[in-house]
Structure 1
Amino acid sequence: MDRLDTLAVFVAVAEQGGFAAAARLLQRSPAAVTRAVADLEDRLKVRLLQRTTRAVSLTEAGQRALESARRILAGMEELDAVTEDVAALHGSVAVTAPTMFGRLHVLRLVQGFLVQHPGVAVRLMLLDRVVSLADEGLDLAVRIGALPDSALRATRLGEVQEGIYASPAYLAAHGRPEAPRDLAGHAVIACTALAPVPDRWTFPGAAVVVVAPRLVVNTPDAAVDAAVAGLGLANLVSYQAAAHVAAGRLRRVLSAHAPPPEPVHLVYAPTRHLSRRVRLLLDHLADGLRRDCAAIARMATE
């Protein structure tokens, strides 16, 4: 572990008030954090932290070391910023997003970013599961839904909402359901990505409706295509249906029975040392996705 890294770990422990909190912040094991501080104390030949069973506090030497460490780390950040400003912007950034949301919204923004910054490469992982940024070597992640307790930093972009959609032709032929119980008499398209049990659809208030799917698919884009083709009613997320609603190919039904909206966030590691290329892509995605989320909310209504 290099000296700057041990200084950063020491500062995190001091500011968080303990090894466990610092480990969560840095996404490292408590043992690795403890070892880094011990290495720094061995190198400086002085005790920096007073450890008790309940708390960690700075010694007098630790307080002086903390002030110096902060100055050193701030100086390195300034040096990195100057270096990156002088040199052409190079390097790679790794991003993950839900598959369909990424294809419809994130990919387009990444393409624009790459045109603006030809020296930067982007690795875009489109996955319908939550992955660890640290384990997968990721810099940024788009997350839909409530965020778990985490040390990751998050920028809120907007919100999306599940809803029931069908084509105008289907509704003209079969009528419009007015309550969830009416779905029992309709052809439905079930997507196991949203409903793991395809013949049970849950609505707010713990209402569960038993349906008889005419088609079961495992990807949202397949459910969208089937709904547009008039095969039945589909439970979709607003960003999946918005463009088709705006074009008149789908209509929303049962909006009064929709679940609460889900937030959309852009998350990233709480490092002090966010590179300029990561910061630039973060800001680019945040600006673009905020606009997209606002547009989705306008388009995906009845």
Structure 2
Amino acid sequence: MAMVEDIDVRGMQHCETTALGVLLRHEGIDLSEPMLFGLGSGLSFIYWDSKAMGFPFLGGRVKPFELTRNLAAALGLELLIRETTSPRKAWRNVAAPIDAGRPVGLQLDSYHLDYFSTKVHFGGHVVAMYGYDEQNAYLVDTNPQGGAVSTSLVGLARARAEHGPMTAKHRSFTITVPSDPTPPPNRIIPAIKTCADAFLNPPIANLGHRDTDLGDLPLPIPLGVPGATGAILPIDTEVPLKGLERALQATAGRPSTPRAATRDRRPPPKHRHASP
């Protein structure tokens, strides 16, 4: 049996920020969930539909693990990522830091976790692991999923080995804070600009503002973090999408371009379904 001591098992609303919070607090940095999400330039937009999916995926954040990479880069943290196709090596990658007294982040498929309330496959789920014994692994998940939880080692192995959308080859990671980390307040404005630039210059039409061609209809825009279970942080508000796009352009330092002038240059979104 191995257990990391002095772990703050505080859960949050979203899985990736929950895991980041556990790892960073153990290193002496305590940031709120909105700050973690913001410094990681986590806000985005994606609409994805394919024949391999049972239903379209609609998201309001960057792809899994991008937030972690962004946050580590913004604060000058050492992010050590390990991936492998070998289950035995994958276990050693997790057990070694825990045996040494450090928590580990894991990306896995939530379907196989014993405690998880929603039995759907989601390969982009992230948890923090801080201990294990002969039968169970001890994790920190979101508040909606119970915070400090446990799952069988068999279930954990299946979750990490799953194949499919968003899975990541037994990915595990640790974070080390240097002796002189970048002060978080110094990275707030750059993080906002990075987020706005990515929203305005997406690599494909399914991402960012290019897939929000919904006219001027006011739609509920969540000012929070969508979680794996659909939970979001309060607060919600209604914002016209054209106004949101112009605000992001202003943040990124670019002039606003009228939608009518760009409509003919933007490829239409793919695989949209008409309402019955």
So what's the TM-score if we normalise by structure 1? 0.19
Bigger Rg, which one: 1
- Flag the structure with more relative contact order, 1 or 2, with Cα contacts below 8 A and sequence separation at least 6: 2
So what's the TM-score if we normalise by structure 2? 0.20
